Amino acid sequence: MALYVQKYGGTSVGSVERIEHVADKVKSFHDAGHQVVVAVSAMSGETNRLISLAKDVTETPDPREMDVLVSTGEQVTIALLSMALQKRGVNARSFTGWQAGMKTDNAYMKARIENIDTDAMRKQLNDGGVCVVAGFQGIDDDNNITTLGRGGSDTTGVALAAALGADECQIYTDVDGVYTTDPRVVPNAKRMEKITFEEMLEMASLGSKILQIRSVEFAGKYKVPLRVLSSFAEGNGTLITMEENSSVENPVISGIAFNRDEAKVTVKGVPDIPGVASKILVPVSDANIEVDMIVQNVSEDGTTDFTFTVHRNDYHKALDVLRNTAAELNAREATGTDDICKVSMVGVGMRSHAGVASQMFKVLADENINILAITTSEIKISVVIEEKYLELAVRALHSAFGLDADSDAN
């Protein structure tokens, strides 16, 4: 007998029919003798409906009242799912955030879980029942309702699993696992049986939108085995674990992530004096623009070219800021482009394999793809290329690094 925490997102509970389907899934685990705690999101569309009501009242709703408002979405789901389980003869009981003892700090709309008083849930589990818990919400020390911010139901699931010492936290979603890359770009991308937390973090932050990144960090920190799987299909999904793949057949590269929402700005001919980087970046950060990759080339005439990437939405704002800075610093010019993308290869296997970067550059060179910028970490290499080459680059790398589903390397 195992204890599973299962989290079902908004799409998985988006209608009464889908809630019934989730009830079937939960019942099958319960019937097999397992203990099950279910964390659910609001029915898809519901949170947006509530936010739009608030926006009709005021453009700047009070965060405390926003949390009172939007937390009703998950409360509706827990009641309906509990009813659907009871209809199937399963002893089920709903728990709002405060009933589940979910204590958070008082940062409305982006609260962090501080601890969980699991007594009430333990009692229900010991009575042979299923706990159905509202995701995304909790209470602070003064009994105010708080929410963890959008997508926070994943974090609820992981926190419940950690607090209850669950054997596994299962995140049910609309994909059947984590793939070596986006199957829409590479049709023979493979579902991974396993991935490490580190790899998952690098994949997620780079654009694989499967899991909330905070929940992965959280699961890693508390060593909660995390499994991503489909609400709609059968299958084992992808297990996210602490263990690194060690068998010889395992590839050096686990997956390839990419991100189209990139733009690149450059200030050219900046006098190369100490502190110039901060003179350039502080105004950018003051304008609330997040900077991703940073590249500085020292030239021979005592000036330097300074390049960084930003989210494509911030491109024009960043260019404006940079033009002002360029004038102040007597730089030659500020330029930029927003038709670029970022491709990243991720894998803990890189640690023990030299030459991954050079092999990557060779694959791209063979396809005549020019690399505009490079950054590396222990388990990731990212390159910026022109956006038009994205599919070509990802497919070529996917194949060259033995990730294709029909590849011998697997």
Residues that bind its own copies (CB under 8 A): 16, 19-20, 50, 53-54, 56-58, 61-62, 64-66, 68-69, 71-72, 75-76, 78-80, 82-84, 86-87, 93-94, 96, 98-99, 120, 143, 145
* Smallest separation, CB 119 to its own copies (Å): 11
Burial class (CB in 10 A: 0-12, 13-18, 19+), 214: middle
Within its chain, how far is the Cα of 340 from the centroid? 22
C-alpha to C-alpha distance for 119 and 123, rounded to whole angstroms? 6
Rounded (10°) CA dihedral 404, 346, 337, 389:
-10
Task: List, in order, residues 6 or more apart from 397 with CB less than 8 Å away.
Answer: 253, 256, 343, 345, 360, 363, 364
Residue 309's DSSP bridge partners are 264
C-alpha to C-alpha distance for 375 and 290, rounded to whole angstroms? 16
Kindly tell me which of 71 and 153 has the beta carbon lying closer to its own copies.
71
Kindly tell me which of 145 and 276 has the beta carbon lying closer to its own copies.
145
Q: Edge-to-edge, what's the strand order for the sheet holding 194-196?
A: 92-95, 130-134, 35-40, 3-8, 168-173, 226-230, 238-241, 194-196
* Smallest separation, CB 287 to its own copies (Å): 28
Of 81, 91, 117, 115, the closest CA to residue 8 belongs to 81
DSSP helix/strand/coil, 79: helix
* Smallest separation, CB 220 to its own copies (Å): 33
Rg of the chain over Cα atoms, rounded to whole angstroms, equals 24
C-alpha to C-alpha distance for 31 and 175, rounded to whole angstroms? 25
* Smallest separation, CB 132 to its own copies (Å): 9
C-alpha to C-alpha distance for 204 and 381, rounded to whole angstroms? 15
Kindly tell me which of 63 and 183 has the beta carbon lying closer to its own copies.
63
Kindly tell me which of 140 and 154 has the beta carbon lying closer to its own copies.
140
* Smallest separation, CB 42 to its own copies (Å): 10
Kindly tell me which of 90 and 384 has the beta carbon lying closer to its own copies.
90
Task: List, in order, residues 6 or more apart from 232 with CB less than 8 Å away.
Answer: 12, 21, 174
Task: List, in order, residues 6 or more apart from 58 with CB less than 8 Å away.
Answer: none
End-to-end CA distance of the chain: give it in Å, rounded: 33
* Smallest separation, CB 82 to its own copies (Å): 5
Kindly tell me which of 61 and 225 has the beta carbon lying closer to its own copies.
61
Kindly tell me which of 136 and 308 has the beta carbon lying closer to its own copies.
136
* Smallest separation, CB 233 to its own copies (Å): 23
Kindly tell me which of 23 and 331 has the beta carbon lying closer to its own copies.
23
Kindly tell me which of 65 and 168 has the beta carbon lying closer to its own copies.
65
* Smallest separation, CB 43 to its own copies (Å): 9
Within 122-248, strands assigned E span 130-134, 137-139, 145-147, 168-173, 194-196, 226-230, 238-241
Kindly tell me which of 58 and 247 has the beta carbon lying closer to its own copies.
58
C-alpha to C-alpha distance for 91 and 125, rounded to whole angstroms? 10
C-alpha to C-alpha distance for 318 and 310, rounded to whole angstroms? 8
Helix locations, 192-237, DSSP H: 197-205, 213-221
Kindly tell me which of 56 and 286 has the beta carbon lying closer to its own copies.
56
* Smallest separation, CB 135 to its own copies (Å): 15
* Smallest separation, CB 35 to its own copies (Å): 20
* Smallest separation, CB 60 to its own copies (Å): 8
